[in-house]
Structure 1
Amino acid sequence: MFKSHQLFINNFSIYFLGLLSSGLISFITIPLIVKYYGVDGYGSFSLVQNVILVLISFGGGWLNQCVLRFNNYSTHFKFSIFQLFFITFFPISLLCFGILTLMDVGILIATMGTVTMFLGSLVALSIVFYQSKFNARKSFYFDFVRIVVFVLMVLSFHFVLGELSSLLRLILSLFISYLLSFFFLLRIDFRFFKISIDLFIKKINRDYFASLFKQHHYLFQYGWPLALWFTISSLLNVSDRYIIGYYLTEKDLGTYSAIYDLLYKGITLLYAPILVAGFPIMTQKYNSGNKSDALRFLKKLIFFETIIFIVLLVAAYFLKSFFIIKIVGIAATEQSVDLVLPIVCGAFIWQLAMLVHKPLEFELKTKTMLLFSAVALAVNLVLNIVFIPVYGIVFASYSTVLCALVYLLLTVFFIGFLNKKELCGT
């Protein structure tokens, strides 16, 4: 028990310092974009960026979770995961290019966005292997390099490439940040990547795909619902923007996106070290047969997150106007100030749900998780389509709370039902 706590504290400290650094840089970046590229420019950028992030979640989320859940630390397992990655992301890359083209952003932005999506997914998968081996330092380095480069590019392109559109300069900044992060990773794992790509090119045929699927059937059974779950999870956080963009103005879209990203992503970065450091430890306990110890550890993490939320909520209540004016850098209207508290609550409830549903992941009930997330998304879409045209962007923040609460309650009730069945011996 002591070793588990010490390992969690060590990795949490590294992740916390790393993500705090990254979060502070992100907090600087969004107001900088609003200042130099305009709130409308940030709104347009967020739509393209979120297409990239949703597809990264769709294609890579399930592979990342498979690594955390099943990694046996063998070279064979790692090669197999990367073969599955290449099979998955070639069609997803075509899908990404098609979606961005339909959004009428131009061929150049569509191409850069597609390559960014592919590189981002590849780096994220590599980082997860370090996380599963409790190597917090390396996983932090890659993300830190990416964020720092992004900030530098955003500032540089504002002064150097002023003749280009705001959207092109911002997407170019995002592309370069992922590209340099990939080269930083390549410097460490060049030999592995070379062998993995050579193996894929030499063996690419239908028989090889069938053999790979048969050999790793358990990964697909566990992973395909997670692929859809991660997609829905991402859509829950971004679908309201497309509805706002359709019914309201670009200024409304930019205002909501800037406040939402600073708050929601900032809080997520604060909570992420708990999940990232704690999940591999829980998995190791569970896989070794120590189920009760894994669940006790989970309850402590939930308590830890709740304490953080109480502090955040009090701070948000007293500092919401200061946050809007001084941090985001926009006018503190009644509408913009009213966004703060519901977004903070929505972020906490969703992060809490990410811990609460871990028993379902351990029991491989990913299809149930998918069903609950689909219900939450349906609630979110219906409410937003009906009420955003009437009540504006403030309602979008409240729908975030409601859909997160729907997912959390469904999960809690189902876990309680399973426990009751287990106690009754049925």
Structure 2
Amino acid sequence: MNNKFNMRLFNNKSFNITVFTVCITVLLQFIFIRFTSYQIDKETYGNFVLLQTLIAGLSTVLLQIPSQSFDRFFNTTNNKLIFINEFRTLLILINILSVFFIIIYSFFYERFSFEIYVIVLIVFFILNNFSFNQKIFLFSLERKKYFYIKISESIAKFLFPIIFYMYFKNLESLLIGLLTGYLLSFLLISKMLKEYPFKIQINMMNYKKYFNFAYPIFFVSIFTWGISFSDRYFIDYFLTTSDVGIYSLLAIVAGIGQIIGQIYFMYVEPIILKEYEINRKNSFNQLSKYIKILSLVFLLLSLIAYIIPKEIYTLLLERDVVYNNYYFNTMMILLLSIFLLILQSAFHLYFKLLKKLYLLATIYFVGFIVNIILNFYIKEYGIMMAAISTLLAYLIILILEYILIKQELKKIHKRIGNN
């Protein structure tokens, strides 16, 4: 049975396009990691990471409620154009709000110039519109178009900053490269969206429905951001900006483990969401099967990552970093953290389908508190403690999720069986 399932999976055109999309993206990421490790000053890269963390924080605060609602209700609506334009209209308000958030941030964090904050703001404007619009093709299962979009995004994110830095060699050049790349990618996706013309669309009843569904994910996202990114600010405060750069490079290399996660979420989530509207019982069975496969893959990859020769890692990182046991072990801890993050994120779909996202908020709050407390020990134990705090936070979240899901599944099967 499993062999037949695997054969169907790898002979599936949509799955193959998804894998190809992720592989090309990762190849471009490799180029960026290699260049950054060997060519970019660590302090400059550390500052670039802090600004990217700001953008991620803005996305967390402002975009998660509409984003999660869009994912959940896309397959429940008949008029896709009206539905899409409701969210496009929301993005206008979000762009306005982001101005005030960045102004407030600049008052408390005076390290960067006014011009840099303006660039960051424009990058956020373009990025949130680009990220939202690409969902249209993902959830419409238009894999080929989504492939071109993701490749253009990877070029924007990884190649354009390198090109601009090679000429100007400063922080501004990295940001302008990022801005230029995303602007070109947005122009590309705009051409693909001609069949979805924009029109101001406001429906307060729908907005209320979306908010009631997704507001718990707002807190989940804040706690997730805190666990994943706050350690950069702790490192910057207790140690140095160069340490932020080194830690972020180790995290990016460990983040290669997200290859599997990207394939999983790009391929599995749209299928499960669509199946749920057709056959709920089957959708839960499919989701359970996919998560088991994901868990086995991560166990195998963790072992491989640790036993392969260190020399392979020098293709991406400087030899002095790779052969420093402290840095190498930190990277392995971060890799395990990535795997746990992806695995517990896979469980989110259960909560999303059952409209019980409020449970996630409580779980993530526990993980967030553990993470913040442990981050104060960075001053004494260095960047490895940042990695350990992240790992333990995700492990606690995964355990709590598993316990709750196990309880919910019993209720689900009993309820479905009675219907």
Find the aligned partners of 2:26 and 2:340 in 1 and give their Cα distance. Answer: 20
Contact 1:20–1:270 under 8 Å retained in 2: no
Structure 1 residues 191, 360: closer, same or farther in 2, change over 3 A? closer
**Is 1:34 the equivalent of 2:37?**
yes
TM-score (norm 1): 0.88
Alignment match, 1:92: 98
- Structure 2 residue matching 1:134: 3-state secondary structure: coil
- Structure 1 residue matching 2:59: 3-state secondary structure: helix
Indicate the larger mover: 111-120 or 98-107.
98-107
Alignment of 1:334-373 (within 5 A): 334-373=325-364
Find the aligned partners of 2:312 and 2:10 in 1 and give their Cα distance. Answer: 35
Structure 1 residues 323, 259: closer, same or farther in 2, change over 3 A? farther
**Is 1:106 the equivalent of 2:113?**
yes
From 259, 279, 284, the equivalent of 2:269 is 279
After superposition, the CA RMSD in angstroms is 2.6
Alignment of 1:265-344 (within 5 A): 266-288=256-278, 290-319=279-308, 321-331=310-320, 332-344=323-335
From 187, 192, 215, the equivalent of 1:183 is 187
From 88, 107, 116, the equivalent of 2:123 is 116
CA shift at 1:343, angstroms? Answer: 1.3
Contact 2:9–2:15 under 8 Å retained in 1: no
- Give ranges in structure 1 of 5+ residues lacking alignment: 201-207
- Structure 2 residue matching 1:220: 3-state secondary structure: helix
Measured against aligned partners, the alpha-carbon deviations of 1:173-202 in whole angstroms (never above 9, x if no partner) come to: 111111111111122225745x33xx37xx
CA shift at 1:235, angstroms? Answer: 2.6
CA shift at 1:62, angstroms? Answer: 2.9
CA shift at 1:73, angstroms? Answer: 5.0
Aligned length: 406
CA shift at 1:119, angstroms? Answer: 1.0
Alignment of 1:44-63 (within 5 A): 44-63=47-66
TM-score (norm 2): 0.89
Alignment match, 2:17: 14
- Structure 2 residue matching 1:377: 3-state secondary structure: helix
Alignment match, 2:373: 382
- Structure 1 residue matching 2:141: 3-state secondary structure: coil
Partner amino acid, structure 2, of 1:172: I
- Give ranges in structure 2 of 5+ residues lacking alignment: none
Find the aligned partners of 1:287 and 1:94 in 2 and give their Cα distance. Answer: 39
- Structure 1 residue matching 2:355: 3-state secondary structure: coil
- Structure 2 residue matching 1:48: 3-state secondary structure: helix
Partner amino acid, structure 2, of 1:83: T
Alignment of 1:67-78 (within 5 A): 67-71=70-74, 72=77, 74=79, 75-78=81-84
Identity percentage of aligned residues: 20
Contact 2:162–2:174 under 8 Å retained in 1: no
Find the aligned partners of 1:106 and 1:129 in 2 and give their Cα distance. Answer: 36
Contact 1:305–1:352 under 8 Å retained in 2: yes
Contact 1:66–1:219 under 8 Å retained in 2: yes
Measured against aligned partners, the alpha-carbon deviations of 1:256-302 in whole angstroms (never above 9, x if no partner) come to: 110111212x21233211122111211122222x2221111112211
Structure 1 residues 30, 66: closer, same or farther in 2, change over 3 A? same
